Chains A and B, each alone.
Chain A
Amino acid sequence: MKLINIKTIPWTLLNLFFGIVVSIVLLGFWYSSSIEKQFKNDAKKQVMSIGDLKVQQITSWLNERKADARVLSGNKNNIKNFNDFLKMGKDKTKLLEMFRLYCENYDYASISLIDTSGKIKLSYGGREDSLSQLDALQIQHFIAEPTLEFSELHISVFTEDVTQDLFVPLLEQINDTTELLGIVLIRIDPYRMLYPLIQNWPTESKTGETLLLKKEDSEVVFLNELRHKSNTALKFKLPLNKADAIYHKATNGEEGVFEGEDYRGVQVLASVRKIPGTSWVMVSKIDSEEIDQPLQEQAKIVWIIVILLVVISGITIGIYWRHQRSKYYENLLKLENENKALSKHVEHIVKYANDIIILFDDQLSVIEVNDQACSTYGYTKEEFLKMNASDLRPLRFREELKKIFSEYEDGKGRIYETTHIKKDGTEFPVEVSGRLFKIEIGKYYQTIIRDISERKTAEDALMGLSLRNEALLASVPDIIMEVDNNKIYTWANKAGYDYFGNEVIGKSADYYFEGEQDVYNMVQPLFDGNENIIYVESWQRRHDGEIRLLAWWCRVLKNEEGIAIGALSTARDITIWKQTEEILRTSEGKYRSLVESMTEGMALHEVIYDDKGQAIDYRIEDVNPAFEKHIGIPIEKAKGALASELYGVSYAPFLNEYAKVAESGVPYSFQIYFPPLLKHFEISVFSPEKGWFATVFTDITDKKRMEEAIERRIIALTNPVDSTEDLKFEDLFNLNEIQNIQDAFAKATGVASIITDIEGKPLTKPSQFCDLCENIIRKTEKGLANCIRSDAVLGKTTLDGPNIQHCLSGGLWDGGASIKAGEKHIANWLIGQIYDESADKESMRKYADEIGADKEEFSLALDKVTRMPKEQFENVCDSLFLFAQKLSDMALQNVQQARLITKQKLADEEIRTLNQELEERVIKRTEQLEASNKELEAFSYSVSHDLRSPLRALDGFARILMDEYSTNLDEEGTRLLNVIIDNSQIMGNLIDDLLAFSRISRQEMQSHPIDMFKMVNSVFTELNQFYIGKNIVFNLQEIPNINGDSSMIRQVWINLISNALKFSSTKEEQVIAVGCMVKEDENIYFVKDNGVGFNMEYSNKLFGVFQRLHSMKDFEGTGVGLALVQRIINRHKGRVWGEGKLKEGATFYFSIKDKESQYASDKNS
């Protein structure tokens, strides 16, 4: 717990308090001084403005008087009256009446008329002799220079009143000269008018006063009656000997606001001003005391607040201090309690601790032990207290005790092990932790003693562990050997003994080396101390004499000084691995030989690239012998050559395909005709690494030719089967197979056999032919022709059985059966050359003559001819007939099969052609579409640019005409110009709308979630500002959101809502409703208004471009808005429609699939 130290005097708090007091006081000072300044300023301003007011009032009063006088003297009638009176004594009463009126109206004291000689001729309100000497002098002076002017304030000699005179010259204009007729003297009593004017103080003030004064020689004369002194006008004078008195400054010509003494000697604030046109100075003043009074009150309040603040802060800090103190004591109490608990705790620990705790004094006598000590040593506590530290040790350990205790003097604790003795004399090992501590009363040694008998036992057990280590090493399957510095084996584990035999210890390591090995040199760095671990492989003799390869990990052994004293090495028999490695190495050679011996050609190539990474050629890096066989180019010539050079072509063959494989690593196979060699190849390409490829190829030229032959056969078989067509046996059957059948038949039956075409020309090789026919008759020209003729006859078609007859050439028995494909006779299978007893030998000999054969040979051969009874031959012929019929069936089947295949092929071909055509048509159509799109784009671009330009000219020049030549135009002309301007605007709008319309179709659509409610609200707010002042009710329901192009959908809302607003604008109250009907898979949004509506008859025109249902005069518009809406909604795969009734309103709907189903349809598409 943190305990804040509480001092008796809380200096920090006191300092804080003083700081607060000083700052509050300073604040008070600052505040009151700033108030004072402001007050002074205000007073100055007040005095100054009062001074200004007074000066203005006095000046204007003087001017008024002068104006009165001018009225009197400027009136021609008056002048005439004065003239008449002065020259002829007429009109006296009239003039007196006039004077009286003046006096009474303007409150003058008197008005007198004085002639040019200075005598009073007429007077009202004054005495006629009242002109004093001074007056007379002034009059004389005035007559000499007649101007309208005031006299000074002075005391009349006669009346002893303060007066002021106004001299008014009466001037008569005679021709060009002005003549003075006389003077009117207006006498003014200042008590009546001037003094009240001066004395009046415009605000409520106890001391405020305005006074007039003037300098007279070395004195100042006060001209009016003063507030604080009576009977002063012109009588009260003060000497000018006080420089800072206000009146002194005033008479010195200074103007402004001053502070100083006034005539009473009282401190005042005064504004001093000269009165223009007079020698008067005006002083407006107020006593400083009066000004200061409210200030002092204010100051009083400020200081009261200051004192209050000081008191409050003092109390606050006091309370805080008390709180701190009480908290401190609380904490103190808590700490004390904790301490108590702690000491109890410690006591408890000491008493019941597992360790022995003994306290010694500086004489090493025991002064305290715990229970554990008693129970361990077997002494009672009382016994302990009589004992000394040395009593706890066996005799032999007592000597060192003093030394140990003296070491404690440095204040550090020590831990050591020793042996103690119990009361019963048993010794036991202990660990002692001791420490010296000094307190006021003296030195104490505290020891904590632990019985470590068990630990010792455990340690002893640990000693036995090294044996276990050895056992562990022994059980490792790897060989572990230890050598000393001289490479003599000093230790081996079981595996080591197993390998090297039991006598290995003491043998030099090289004793087991086989062959010349450099192992010693390799491991030398270990013994030099340069390496810690070294790996070597070496061949070593096993105890049974076998030589194995061992892999050694040798680790150096070092003594305490870090010098190598031997090595510990583990070894593993790696002979089998080595052998496997060897096998692997040889297997590569085997593959090599495989490649060498295979019949397919094989070649390895590297692709050659240009600077831009484009494949331009490939180099043949390696080829196998078969390459030479297939390609016919020697290996030496091929290796390292560039493909283009090797094959003598400008572009390396199949470079594209090969480069692709070398790049992608994807294998590829193809068949191709290779023109440079006039051969067909089947080529497989694969890439062993990037930029390389290998080809395996076979010469398939023969195979190709065979395939072509088969192809030809099939083509031949595709024609319809009837007797006129050119069907051949050899096209329908594989002649080799037929030959085999024929040979087998001949062998089995012993009759000769051959298959011929229908003209008798052989199609197969003869089998079992007799010498007579083959080598004698057929060797003669006549004989051969007869044979063929006979064969042809033999093959004549019969349905019921074979033809059997004597040979037309030679007369032996022959048989035959025809082979047909459908109705077409295509071949004959002939057998025969059978001699039976019924044959006419003589005629046969004659035949030999006939064909020019050797008679002798003929006879001999005839004897060798197969003899068979006729019945047997007939049986053979019957079976032949069956065979032939079967062949006929097969022929027909073959034909039909071929036809089917052909049909299929044709159909395939047709489909392919159709597909290709279709594809071409699609491509062509796409191209056309693209072209027309481009055209459209170019069109709208030029519309945008070129159509606007002349419009601007139209509008611009029409306006210029209007601005600058309107004076030359009559009303009709102006109207016509306006028509031009309006129409060019309309045209401009049309173009803009049209462009927007076409842009919508071209624009790419984005799809995002749209907050429809928010969008509609913002659109309406935006549009509503064009209808301010209208009574519009807008009903917007909660409407669902949608995915779509937000700028397009916004355009839809703008167009629909602005239409609704526009077409309902004629109504008193416009009602617009926006809502949505949620259907199964689509949302139908609508905008409804109560406007002019439309006739459903024309609903089909609603969405056409430039289609309008209202005249321009009624409603403006271009007729593009709804078309745009339709286009946008169509692009969103939705529908749009409108419903309306004339004069009752219209509702426009658009549907959009809701998010999920839209998503689904997207997925399907």
Chain B
Amino acid sequence: MLQTKIVDILLIEDSPTDIELTVRALKKNHISNEIHVISDGAEALEYIFGSETKARMNNNPKVIILDLKLPKVDGLEILKRLKGDENTKIIPVVVMTSSKEERDIVESYKLGVNSYIVKPVDFDKFVNSVNELGMYWVLLNEAPN
């Protein structure tokens, strides 16, 4: 049954503390809908493009939050695969990373990212960012069917 459950937010992030902070921030703002966390790039690709889960990816998640620095396969590669595939390119992807580097930002936008957020060090700001992100992409944004 796990395979068919509805996932609203797919969080691809390897730092356990950042995962906890993100999930906490989302919950704090009552955007706890359904969060699925994957902490490994290869695993993320398997989850998205694996045969078992492919059908489900057509309907959801509403947004993918993606870190750039990931074990095995990095975030930009995942973004490239997501935006290069007919089935997944319509899923909004928000890159949320510590990197403020111009080239990461430019490269992400070139690959078609929907939004790029630099994780602030300040937890309050971080909560705000995650809140706005969740509000917009999960609750407000009207996705095509």
Q: What are the residues of chain A within 8 A of B18 when measuring CB–CB? A: 949, 952-953
Q: What are the residues of chain A within 8 A of B2 when measuring CB–CB? A: none
> Taking A953-B17, A956-B21 as contacts, is the C-beta distance between A948 and B121 under 8 angstroms?
yes
- Residue among B15, B21, B69, B121 with the most chain A CB within 10 A? B121
- A942 to chain B: closest residue by CB: B69
Interface residues of A in 985-1042 (CB under 8 A from B): 985, 987-988, 992, 995
Interface residues of A in 937-951 (CB under 8 A from B): 941, 944-946, 948-951
Q: What are the residues of chain A within 8 A of B120 when measuring CB–CB? A: 952, 988
**How many B residues face the partner with a CB closer than 8 A?**
19
CB distance from B133 to the nearest CB of A (A): 15
Residue A957 CB within 8 A of the other chain: yes
* A985 close to B98 (CB less than 8 A): no
Interface residues of A in 951-967 (CB under 8 A from B): 951-953, 955-960
Residue B62 CB within 8 A of the other chain: no
Given the complex of chains A and B, what is the CA–CA distance between A952 and B127 in angstroms?
A: 11
CB distance from B103 to the nearest CB of A (A): 9
Interface residues of B in 1-37 (CB under 8 A from A): 15, 17-18, 21, 24
Residue B60 CB within 8 A of the other chain: no
- A992 to chain B: closest residue by CB: B100
Given the complex of chains A and B, what is the CA–CA distance between A946 and B17 in angstroms?
A: 13
* B99 close to A944 (CB less than 8 A): yes
- B90-108 CB mask vs A (1 if < 8 Å, else 0) is 0000000111110000000
Residue A984 CB within 8 A of the other chain: yes
CB distance from B41 to the nearest CB of A (A): 15
Interface residues of B in 87-135 (CB under 8 A from A): 97-101, 119-124, 126
**How many A residues face the partner with a CB closer than 8 A?**
22
Q: What are the residues of chain A within 8 A of B97 when measuring CB–CB? A: 945
**At the interface, is chain B mostly helix, strand, loop or mixed?**
loop
CB distance from B37 to the nearest CB of A (A): 16
* A945 close to B122 (CB less than 8 A): no
Given the complex of chains A and B, what is the CA–CA distance between A960 and B69 in angstroms?
A: 25
Q: What are the residues of chain A within 8 A of B119 when measuring CB–CB? A: 948-949, 952
* B69 close to A945 (CB less than 8 A): yes
> Taking A956-B126, A985-B121, A988-B122 as contacts, is the C-beta distance between A949 and B21 under 8 angstroms?
no
* B100 close to A949 (CB less than 8 A): no
* A952 close to B100 (CB less than 8 A): no
* A955 close to B122 (CB less than 8 A): yes
* A956 close to B123 (CB less than 8 A): yes
Q: What are the residues of chain A within 8 A of B121 when measuring CB–CB? A: 948, 951-952, 955, 984-985, 987-988
- Residue among A944, A953, A956, A988 with the most chain B CB within 10 A? A956
* A949 close to B15 (CB less than 8 A): yes
- A808-822 CB mask vs B (1 if < 8 Å, else 0) is 000000000000000
> Taking A984-B121, A985-B121 as contacts, is the C-beta distance between A949 and B17 under 8 angstroms?
yes
Given the complex of chains A and B, what is the CA–CA distance between A945 and B105 in angstroms?
A: 13
Q: What are the residues of chain B within 8 A of A985 when measuring CB–CB? A: 121-122
Given the complex of chains A and B, what is the CA–CA distance between A985 and B120 in angstroms?
A: 10
Given the complex of chains A and B, what is the CA–CA distance between A988 and B98 in angstroms?
A: 11
* A955 close to B99 (CB less than 8 A): no
Q: What are the residues of chain A within 8 A of B15 when measuring CB–CB? A: 949, 953
Choose among A949, A955, A960 the residue that contacts B98 (Cβ–Cβ < 8 A): A949
Given the complex of chains A and B, what is the CA–CA distance between A905 and B120 in angstroms?
A: 68
* B98 close to A953 (CB less than 8 A): no
* B17 close to A955 (CB less than 8 A): no
Given the complex of chains A and B, what is the CA–CA distance between A995 and B118 in angstroms?
A: 14
CB distance from B79 to the nearest CB of A (A): 16
- A1002 to chain B: closest residue by CB: B102
CB distance from B21 to the nearest CB of A (A): 4
CB distance from A986 to the nearest CB of B (A): 10
CB distance from B10 to the nearest CB of A (A): 20
Q: What are the residues of chain A within 8 A of B99 when measuring CB–CB? A: 941, 944-945
- B22 to chain A: closest residue by CB: A956
Given the complex of chains A and B, what is the CA–CA distance between A952 and B17 in angstroms?
A: 8
Choose among A945, A950, A960, A992 the residue that contacts B24 (Cβ–Cβ < 8 A): A960
Q: What are the residues of chain B within 8 A of A987 when measuring CB–CB? A: 121
Interface residues of B in 48-102 (CB under 8 A from A): 68-69, 97-101
Given the complex of chains A and B, what is the CA–CA distance between A944 and B100 in angstroms?
A: 7
- B121 to chain A: closest residue by CB: A988
CB distance from A1053 to the nearest CB of B (A): 22
CB distance from B25 to the nearest CB of A (A): 9
> Taking A952-B119, A953-B18 as contacts, is the C-beta distance between A959 and B101 under 8 angstroms?
no
Q: What are the residues of chain B within 8 A of A945 when measuring CB–CB? A: 68-69, 97-99
Given the complex of chains A and B, what is the CA–CA distance between A992 and B122 in angstroms?
A: 13
CB distance from B11 to the nearest CB of A (A): 15
Given the complex of chains A and B, what is the CA–CA distance between A987 and B99 in angstroms?
A: 16
Q: What are the residues of chain A within 8 A of B100 when measuring CB–CB? A: 944, 992, 995
Given the complex of chains A and B, what is the CA–CA distance between A1086 and B24 in angstroms?
A: 49
Given the complex of chains A and B, what is the CA–CA distance between A951 and B119 in angstroms?
A: 11
Q: What are the residues of chain B within 8 A of A960 when measuring CB–CB? A: 24, 123
CB distance from B29 to the nearest CB of A (A): 14
Choose among B101, B123, B124, B126 the residue that contacts A941 (Cβ–Cβ < 8 A): B101
CB distance from A947 to the nearest CB of B (A): 8
CB distance from B35 to the nearest CB of A (A): 17
CB distance from A308 to the nearest CB of B (A): 61
Given the complex of chains A and B, what is the CA–CA distance between A953 and B126 in angstroms?
A: 11
Q: What are the residues of chain B within 8 A of A956 when measuring CB–CB? A: 17, 21, 24, 123, 126
Given the complex of chains A and B, what is the CA–CA distance between A958 and B21 in angstroms?
A: 11
* B101 close to A953 (CB less than 8 A): no
CB distance from B24 to the nearest CB of A (A): 7
> Taking A952-B17, A988-B121 as contacts, is the C-beta distance between A944 and B101 under 8 angstroms?
yes
Choose among B24, B68, B69, B126 the residue that contacts A952 (Cβ–Cβ < 8 A): B126
* A953 close to B69 (CB less than 8 A): no
Given the complex of chains A and B, what is the CA–CA distance between A951 and B99 in angstroms?
A: 14
- A958 to chain B: closest residue by CB: B123
Q: What are the residues of chain A within 8 A of B69 when measuring CB–CB? A: 945-946
* A953 close to B122 (CB less than 8 A): no
- A991 to chain B: closest residue by CB: B121
Q: What are the residues of chain B within 8 A of A995 when measuring CB–CB? A: 100
* B98 close to A944 (CB less than 8 A): yes
Given the complex of chains A and B, what is the CA–CA distance between A456 and B6 in angstroms?
A: 110
- B69 to chain A: closest residue by CB: A945
- A1003 to chain B: closest residue by CB: B102
Given the complex of chains A and B, what is the CA–CA distance between A944 and B98 in angstroms?
A: 7
* B17 close to A959 (CB less than 8 A): no
- Residue among B24, B98, B126 with the most chain A CB within 10 A? B98
Q: What are the residues of chain B within 8 A of A949 when measuring CB–CB? A: 15, 17-18, 98, 119
Given the complex of chains A and B, what is the CA–CA distance between A952 and B119 in angstroms?
A: 8
* A959 close to B124 (CB less than 8 A): yes
Interface residues of A in 1037-1072 (CB under 8 A from B): none
Given the complex of chains A and B, what is the CA–CA distance between A245 and B55 in angstroms?
A: 80
Given the complex of chains A and B, what is the CA–CA distance between A946 and B15 in angstroms?
A: 10
* B98 close to A957 (CB less than 8 A): no
Given the complex of chains A and B, what is the CA–CA distance between A995 and B121 in angstroms?
A: 15
CB distance from B134 to the nearest CB of A (A): 17
Given the complex of chains A and B, what is the CA–CA distance between A941 and B107 in angstroms?
A: 15
Given the complex of chains A and B, what is the CA–CA distance between A1036 and B24 in angstroms?
A: 50
Given the complex of chains A and B, what is the CA–CA distance between A945 and B74 in angstroms?
A: 13
A residues whose Cβ falls under 8 Å from a Cβ of B: 941, 944-946, 948-953, 955-960, 984-985, 987-988, 992, 995
Q: Name 25 interchain pairs, CB-CB below 8 A, sorted by A.
A: A944-B100, A945-B69, A945-B97, A946-B98, A948-B98, A948-B119, A949-B18, A950-B17, A951-B121, A952-B17, A952-B18, A952-B120, A952-B126, A953-B15, A953-B18, A956-B21, A956-B24, A956-B126, A957-B17, A959-B123, A960-B123, A985-B121, A985-B122, A987-B121, A988-B120
- 17 extra interface residue pairs, beta carbon distance < 8 Å, beyond A949-B17, A955-B123, A956-B17: A941-B99, A944-B100, A945-B69, A946-B98, A948-B98, A948-B121, A952-B21, A952-B98, A952-B126, A953-B15, A953-B18, A955-B122, A957-B17, A959-B124, A960-B24, A985-B121, A988-B120
Give the 7 A-B residue pairs with the shortest CB-CB distance, closest first: A988-B121, A953-B17, A956-B123, A948-B98, A959-B123, A956-B21, A945-B98
